[in-house]
Structure 1
Amino acid sequence: STNLSLSIDDKFIQSIREELTDLQRRLLTFSIYDKQTSIKDLSKESALFLWFQLFKDIIFQLPKSEESKYEMIEQCRQYYHGNQEELTNIEKFAQTYTEQDSIHWYTKQCFISRLCNKALRTQDIELLYIFRYYIQDLHKRLSLEHQSFRNTELNPPILTLYRGLKLTHDDITHFQSNIDSLVLMNGFFFTTRNYDLELESALKLSKHSVNILPTLLIIQVNVQLDHVIFAKISSQINNSNEDEILFDIDCAFKIHEVYFNNKKNVWIITMSLTNENRLIAGKYIETNKREIEQG
């Protein structure tokens, strides 16, 4: 019957939408910092690595106001002009949003996370400035959740987390030539404790394109490490029993190994969470200050 075909179409549309959402979440841009370079001779990528952290520090020092919230909502309305579904989400956000809801809204994978991620991925200063209101809230909420996570996850103190990704051949080569360097994910960064789920995602993603290589990140995380922020967000997510860990926007990882696993037919990149990036950023600020003072 007609009704049946409609419901099948709806299911089909829904499955495509879910797949697109998953693809968007697994799009990753990153900056690698080559520790061999002196602060004076930074490559463009190492400079981006530093820029991202300095930007974050500046964003969090800006005052929060209702005006900045209004400006952000207006930008969202303009961007999604004519998209009734997203405009409905935007109105709901405008009416009901509080800081406590920031993680929930981010995991909804709607207008706010899409535009926020777009700004972070492209490092669009203007757009990032417009989204400062929400980025500040999400950071603050993650910081609070992180504290309770640290207090409960005492045993074992080291977590192993996974992330299935879509990477190009050039990306893989780039990682291979930067063993022991630091990589900064340009954005908030999802991982899970579920190896099978992430491996399956990596393999599924690569079917969409000949240029995409199935890649699995395996990340060791010391829960007690200082100056890094990440939190368990499974309790905040709709329709999911999955244990997801969301990292804040300036978390850096040290690259250990990059190899192809023939048995699983997937590229493996092993990394560990580090706070070395904060030291590097601090050193950079000090060097610049000295140079300015010396004129």
Structure 2
Amino acid sequence: AQLPQNQQAKRKSIQLCKDYYRGNTNETRLIQEFEEHYQSEDAIRWYLKESFVRKLIHKALNAGDINFLYQFRFFIADLIENLQRQQQNILQSDETILNVYRGIKLDREEFNKIKHNQGKIISTNEYLLATRQMERAVDSAKRSTRKTDMISVLLHIQCDIKSMDKNILFGNIDQFSDDHDKHEVLFDFNTCFEIESIDDCDSLKIIKMNLSDQGQMAMRHFIELKQQQTEEMNLTIIVGRLLCSLGEYEKSKRYFQQLFNDANDEDRAWIEFNIGRVLALNKESNEARIYYNHAYER
């Protein structure tokens, strides 16, 4: 069972946006439009706009701002549901291997961190946009910048569509974009990639990455045990898992505790399991065991 969309949270999140952008005419106009006309099926379209929604979600994800993420959970849940629908279109197509690209600039320290992690798993702490058009991504990577000592990087992401974990979310988003020629794919936050290789090509560093199910493995056993009681993991829980994956254990625990207070009995099993997972990762094994036991006994 899903937690109901929290209209009070929606009103609070809109008020947060109004307060943040007070005096900004353009953003205030968009916030008003969002308040009056937003529907759940519009989530991807609103995220793709260069507006307050995308800016504030990026800021909150990067900062681990639990209060904003909690208040904006209705939109994050809508965005994930929309991605799930778009993913089904890919899964039901004849496509077997997905190849997409993203051109970025990295400073030398950031690049060396990735280089050091070659052969290992990395995860994103934001929604990742990539294009099926390599030339477009190369142009983005080579775009001039005022910053010095920046490295042009082409991310080449590959995925075996037919054998991937169904909990890894991504989807084609052309129909929601103002520029249908971009042929973009949007990946859910906390998506994991294995860095396969790093190569030089002229002035470009090419990082080849494979989509990995590593980020979903920890919960698979519990999901299988609970699948007869619930159709799918509650979408709002994923926000707390993101905070956990970023190492924000205390914030993640507080987020789940807030959810727990508003949850029904079925959702509480999921939430208690995740509180236990946070505690276990934070090496609080005795307390974690208590929450695990509560979850399995429900």
TM-score w.r.t. the length of structure 2 is 0.72
Match in the other structure for 1:89: 30
Residue 251 of structure 1: CA displacement?
Answer: 1.1
Match in the other structure for 2:200: 260
Residue 293 of structure 1: CA displacement?
Answer: 6.5
Change (3 A) 1:294 1:243: closer
RMSD: 2.3
Output the CA distance in 1 between the equivalents of 2:31 and 2:8.
Answer: 16
Residue 171 of structure 1: CA displacement?
Answer: 1.1
Kindly indicate whether residue 8 of structure 2 is the aligned counterpart of residue 67 of structure 1: yes
Q: 1:231 aligns with which of 155, 168, 171?
A: 171
The total of aligned residue pairs comes to 231
Match in the other structure for 1:215: 153
Match in the other structure for 2:128: 189
Output the CA distance in 2 between the equivalents of 1:74 and 1:68.
Answer: 10
Change (3 A) 1:160 1:285: same
Output the CA distance in 2 between the equivalents of 1:282 and 1:167.
Answer: 34
Secondary structure of the corresponding residue to residue 91 of structure 1: helix
Q: 1:285 aligns with which of 277, 282, 286?
A: 277
Kindly indicate whether residue 44 of structure 2 is the aligned counterpart of residue 103 of structure 1: yes
Residue 287 of structure 1: CA displacement?
Answer: 8.9
Kindly indicate whether residue 88 of structure 2 is the aligned counterpart of residue 147 of structure 1: yes
Match in the other structure for 1:125: 66
Identity %: 29
- The amino acid across from 2:123 in the alignment is L
Residue 240 of structure 1: CA displacement?
Answer: 3.3
Spell out, residue by residue over 1:10-52, the C-alpha distance to the aligned partner (whole angstroms, 9 max, x if none): xxxxxxxxxxxxxxxxxxxxxxxxxxxxxxxxxxxxxxxxxxx
Match in the other structure for 2:107: 168
Kindly indicate whether residue 192 of structure 2 is the aligned counterpart of residue 200 of structure 1: no
Spell out, residue by residue over 1:102-147, the C-alpha distance to the aligned partner (whole angstroms, 9 max, x if none): 0010111211111011111222212211221111110111111111
Output the CA distance in 2 between the equivalents of 1:75 and 1:216.
Answer: 36
Output the CA distance in 2 between the equivalents of 1:139 and 1:166.
Answer: 28
Change (3 A) 1:200 1:129: same
Asked if the contact 1:187/1:248 (under 8 Å) is kept, the reply is yes
Output the CA distance in 1 between the equivalents of 2:57 and 2:2.
Answer: 19
Secondary structure of the corresponding residue to residue 201 of structure 1: helix
Farther off after superposition, 222-231 or 87-96: 222-231
Asked if the contact 1:182/1:277 (under 8 Å) is kept, the reply is no
Kindly indicate whether residue 14 of structure 2 is the aligned counterpart of residue 79 of structure 1: no
- The amino acid across from 2:11 in the alignment is Y
Residue 202 of structure 1: CA displacement?
Answer: 0.6
- The amino acid across from 1:76 in the alignment is C
Map 1:23-62 onto structure 2 (within 5 A): none
Asked if the contact 2:159/2:211 (under 8 Å) is kept, the reply is yes
Kindly indicate whether residue 246 of structure 2 is the aligned counterpart of residue 251 of structure 1: no
Secondary structure of the corresponding residue to residue 209 of structure 1: coil
Q: Which runs of 5+ in 1 are unaligned?
A: 1-59
Asked if the contact 1:146/1:231 (under 8 Å) is kept, the reply is yes
Spell out, residue by residue over 1:33-77, the C-alpha distance to the aligned partner (whole angstroms, 9 max, x if none): xxxxxxxxxxxxxxxxxxxxxxxxxxx975421111101100110
Residue 260 of structure 1: CA displacement?
Answer: 2.6
Spell out, residue by residue over 1:167-204, the C-alpha distance to the aligned partner (whole angstroms, 9 max, x if none): 11011111111112111111111000111110010110
Q: Which runs of 5+ in 2 are unaligned?
A: 222-275, 291-298
Output the CA distance in 2 between the equivalents of 1:126 and 1:134.
Answer: 14
Match in the other structure for 1:55: none
Kindly indicate whether residue 116 of structure 2 is the aligned counterpart of residue 177 of structure 1: yes
Secondary structure of the corresponding residue to residue 139 of structure 1: helix
